[in-house]
């Protein structure tokens, strides 16, 4: 075999060539797998294997890149890594040099989110030219959300407070899980078709749900939901999650609100502002009617003058009667319009008064005063009851007191153990006990008889038991 010297690789040159080939062929790539054989030596580098069901690859993440980690890697973690392919030349093993690592759950979803966002933006789904204007006073609101979530209560409360006359039609859908996106698409399509056919009196859609994780909100990041919003003939206001949450639905919607509450405020006017507008229109109507009556009266006077100048008596009479009838009709019409506007004003005023918070405050204040009086009375009653119990206990204690018994002529006989009579007389170091039986005494024992006003010291001369 004729082999040229230039055709022979050394092991080092071979590994170097393979390393260059791998690094040129594979730029930065994303790889997902499970961590195993994790090692974290004192150097600060991280070495591990990334595996799936049928293969594994060695990985290294050097100390300088470890500072970007927002979690603690452990064996069994499912991760998503950004790496370049390299060859460890001393051993001839190929490996991944990790630049970035994140947990596969939210990391994968975030990558899908970014990719779909770029795709839909390129197709024009986010363009402002396609967005529809939300009506200032909607004829009706279609609400798409979960019937059991907090968002539906928040939205209805805001509408009830700001403009309760606007009807709301709820289209309940699941807002989380695999069934959520198809249900939301069907609801949007149904509302659009019914509105175009005149079967549903709604001209704006609220698409809302409460906050949650990226995975919880993922149904609002589905491409099918984005295209359903884009194709809907009615304007859609999205209020998904909290203020920091942003979904694909927010970018496609005609208006994006930070929260469900903000979405409800976006589509409802303030009833107090409308009430002020009604007042202004009433005043304007009264002025227009008054001006028209005045002009008609001036015209009638002018016609009357002309008729008087021409002296056609019959024509003058008919014209006069006709003018008077017109004046009466015009006046009645003006009065009718004023009466209608006045009744409308009274009705709107009454509705506003029913929502006046001062009434609720007054009722609550009365309740507080009543409860305060009840508490004071209950405290006094309890104090009187405890005083009565104390008085009864004192009376009972006094009745059974041995001092009371002594006052009635009785005495108590006490014995002092192993003490001399002089010590008893002096009252020093006495240990006494009541004598209840003659068996407790013997001849020459010292005893003490206590009376109500003093005591007597005696010596036992004799003692005998009763027959």
Q: What is the pLDDT of residue 422?
A: 46
Q: What is the pLDDT of residue 308?
A: 66
For the cut 90, the answer to whether the pLDDT of residue 253 exceeds it is yes
Q: What is the DSSP string of 257-292?
A: -SSHHHHHHHHS--HHHHHHHHHHHHHHHHHHHHHH
For the cut 60, the answer to whether the pLDDT of residue 330 exceeds it is yes
- State the DSSP code for 11: H
Q: Which CATH architecture has domain 123-127+139-269?
A: 3-Layer(aba) Sandwich (3.40)
Q: What is the pLDDT of residue 105?
A: 65
What's the rounded Cα separation, in Å, for the pair 165 and 167? 6
Of 411 and 2, the structure prediction assigns the larger pLDDT to 411
Q: What is the pLDDT of residue 420?
A: 44
Average pLDDT over the chain reads 85
Q: What is the pLDDT of residue 423?
A: 47
Residue 151 CB coordination number (10 Å)? 25
Q: What is the pLDDT of residue 400?
A: 76
Q: What is the mean pLDDT of residues 59-75?
A: 87
For the cut 80, the answer to whether the pLDDT of residue 23 exceeds it is no
3-state class (DSSP) for residue 41? coil
For the cut 80, the answer to whether the pLDDT of residue 178 exceeds it is yes
Q: From its phi and psi, is residue 198 left (phi > 0), alpha (psi between -120 and 50) or beta? A: left
**CATH superfamily placement of domain 8-104:** Nucleic acid-binding proteins (2.40.50.140)
What's the rounded Cα separation, in Å, for the pair 87 and 99? 16
- Rank 85-99, 101-115, 145-159 by mean pLDDT and report only the highest: 145-159
What's the rounded Cα separation, in Å, for the pair 252 and 226? 6
What's the rounded Cα separation, in Å, for the pair 446 and 357? 89
Which residues lie closer than 8 Å to 111 by C-beta, 6 or more apart?
30, 80
Question: Residue 58's closest CA among 6, 93, 12?
Answer: 93
For the cut 70, the answer to whether the pLDDT of residue 429 exceeds it is no
Q: What is the pLDDT of residue 227?
A: 95
Percent of the chain at pLDDT exceeding 90: 35
Q: From its phi and psi, is residue 117 left (phi > 0), alpha (psi between -120 and 50) or beta? A: alpha
Taking the CA atoms of residue 108, residue 113, residue 115 and residue 118 in that order, the dihedral angle to the nearest 10 degrees is -160
Please, which pLDDT band fits residue 424 given cuts at 50, 70 and 90?
very low
Least confident of 107-116, 203-212, 235-244: 107-116
């Amino acid at each position: 075999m004729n082999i040229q010297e230039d055709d022979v690789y050394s092991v080092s040159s071979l590994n170097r060539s393979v390393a260059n080939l791998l690094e040129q062929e594979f730029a930065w790539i994303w790889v997902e797998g499970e961590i195993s054989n994790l090692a974290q030596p004192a150097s600060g580098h991280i070495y591990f294997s990334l595996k799936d069901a049928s293969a594994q690859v060695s990985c290294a993440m050097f100390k300088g890149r470890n500072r970007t980690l927002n979690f603690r890697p452990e064996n069994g973690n499912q991760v998503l890594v950004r790496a370049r392919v390299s060859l460890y030349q001393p051993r001839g093993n190929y490996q991944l040099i990790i630049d970035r690592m994140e947990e596969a759950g939210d990391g994968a979803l975030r990558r899908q989110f970014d990719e779909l966002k770029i795709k839909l933006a390129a197709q024009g789904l986010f363009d402002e030219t396609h967005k529809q204007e939300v009506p200032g006073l909607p004829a009706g609101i279609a609400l798409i959300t979960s019937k059991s979530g907090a968002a539906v209560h928040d939205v209805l409360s805001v509408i009830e407070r700001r403009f309760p006359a606007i009807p709301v039609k709820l289209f309940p859908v699941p807002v989380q899980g695999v069934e959520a996106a198809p249900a939301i698409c069907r609801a949007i399509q149904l509302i659009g078709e019914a509105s175009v056919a005149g079967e549903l009196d709604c001209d704006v859609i609220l698409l809302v749900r409460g906050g949650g994780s990226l995975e919880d909100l993922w149904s609002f990041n589905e491409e099918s939901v984005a295209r359903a919003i884009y194709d809907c003939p009615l304007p859609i206001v999205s209020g998904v999650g909290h203020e920091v949450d942003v979904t694909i639905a927010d970018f496609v919607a005609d208006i994006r609100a930070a929260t469900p509450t903000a979405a409800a405020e976006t589509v409802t006017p303030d009833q107090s502002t409308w009430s002020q507008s009604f007042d202004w229109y009433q005043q304007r109507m009264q002025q227009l009617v008054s001006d028209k009556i005045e002009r008609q009266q001036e015209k009638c006077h002018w016609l009357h003058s002309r008729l008087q100048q021409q002296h056609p008596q019959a024509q003058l009479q008919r014209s006069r009667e006709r003018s008077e009838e017109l004046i009466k009709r015009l006046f009645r019409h003006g009065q009718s319009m004023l009466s209608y506007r006045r009744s409308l004003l009274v009705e709107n005023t009454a509705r506003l008064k029913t929502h006046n918070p001062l009434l609720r405050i007054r009722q609550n204040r009365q309740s507080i005063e009543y409860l305060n009086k009840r508490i004071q009375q209950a405290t006094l009653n309890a104090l009187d009851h405890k005083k009565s119990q104390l008085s009864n206990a004192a009376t009972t204690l006094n009745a059974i007191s041995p001092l009371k018994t002594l006052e009635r002529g009785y005495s108590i006989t006490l014995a002092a153990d192993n003490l001399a009579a002089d010590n008893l007389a002096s009252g020093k170091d006495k240990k006494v006990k009541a004598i209840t039986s003659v068996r407790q005494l013997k001849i020459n024992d010292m005893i003490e008889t206590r009376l109500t006003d003093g005591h007597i010291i005696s010596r036992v001369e004799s003692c005998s038991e009763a027959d």
